[in-house]
A and B are shown apart, each in its own frame.
Chain A
């Protein structure tokens, strides 16, 4: 069974601080995706990483895919209150028709 573990589960930080969220698995994934979900809404795709060792940047967000394609990280620089939300990593399961989601990291950025 493919599982994705995210850490930390909860994170409360002050505006301007940096943070890193981790997504780990013992299984190899062909790709990993990161989503952000805000209260009352569905998850919104932030990025997809495909190649081992790949690094992608989206403004203040930096995403990295592990060399072995078993883990990924999301780093936010100078967090802002607008970054508050639930961050989810997801990988394709045993078929490309379903995604396996991590348990999520709930981020609160205090002004």
Chain B
């Protein structure tokens, strides 16, 4: 059974640009959540989607957005990138909330 797949794995963007990250959950999983991991702040919750609906959102500015498609695949977008957005962005999936979540390997974003 394939794990959570995130693309791209590594990318470099310039300040002011926007970026879209993609996440394919484990087959059959309907919940997808996103986290940002930085050395200073650790792992912080961004948002969670279930059946194309955002059920919860963390304390991030509106530049961070996401969506989920009917096949449960999810994307997150960050607009007007800032240097502080450099981080590892992790996607996790589970069958339903409260179940074990499985993380992908993450997308490393560097903003220069």
Q: Which of A14-22, A65-73, A88-96 contacts B (4 or more CB under 8 A)?
A: A88-96
- Known: A93-B45, A98-B33. Is A45-B101 also a contact (CB below 8 A)? yes
A87 at the interface (CB under 8 A from B): no
> B105 near A: Cβ within 8 Å?
yes
Q: Which residues in A have their C-beta under 8 angstroms from that of B50?
A: 97
User: Contact string, A29-50, partner B, CB cutoff 8 A, digits 1/0?
Assistant: 0000000000011111100100
CA distance A108 to B52 in the complex (A): 41
Interface size of A by Cβ–Cβ distance < 8 Å?
Answer: 20
Q: Choose among A40, A42, A93, A102 the residue that contacts B4 (Cβ–Cβ < 8 A).
A: A42
Cα–Cα distance between A97 and B48 once the two chains are bound (Å): 7
- Cross-interface CB contact of B105 among A40, A88, A93, A103, cutoff 8 Å: A40
Please state if A96 and B45 are interface contacts (CB–CB under 8 Å).
no
- Min CB distance A105 to B, Å, is 11
Residues of chain B within 8 A (CB-CB) of A98 are 33, 45, 48, 56, 58
Decide if B61 is an interface residue (CB 8 Å cutoff).
no
Consensus secondary structure, chain A interface: loop
- Report how far A93 CA is from B43 CA in the complex, Å: 13
- Cβ-closest chain B residue relative to A30: B98
Q: Can you list, as one digit per residue, whether each of B65-101 has a CB less than 8 Å from chain A (1) or not (0)? A: 0000000000000000000000000101000011011
**B11 CB to closest chain A CB, in angstroms?**
15
Query: Per a CB cutoff under 8 Å, which of B42, B55, B90, B92 touches A95?
Result: B55
Q: Are B97 and A97 in contact (CB under 8 A)?
A: yes
B104 within 8 A of A: yes
Contact string against B for A residues 96-111, beta-carbon threshold 8 Å, 1 for contact and 0 otherwise: 1111111110000000
**A48 → B minimal CB distance (Å):** 7
Q: Which residues of A are found within 8 Å of B4, using beta-carbon distances?
A: 42
Other CB < 8 Å A-B pairs besides A88-B43, A103-B42, 19 of them?
Answer: A40-B105, A41-B106, A42-B92, A42-B104, A42-B105, A42-B106, A43-B90, A43-B103, A48-B100, A90-B43, A95-B55, A95-B97, A96-B98, A97-B33, A99-B43, A99-B45, A100-B45, A101-B43, A104-B43
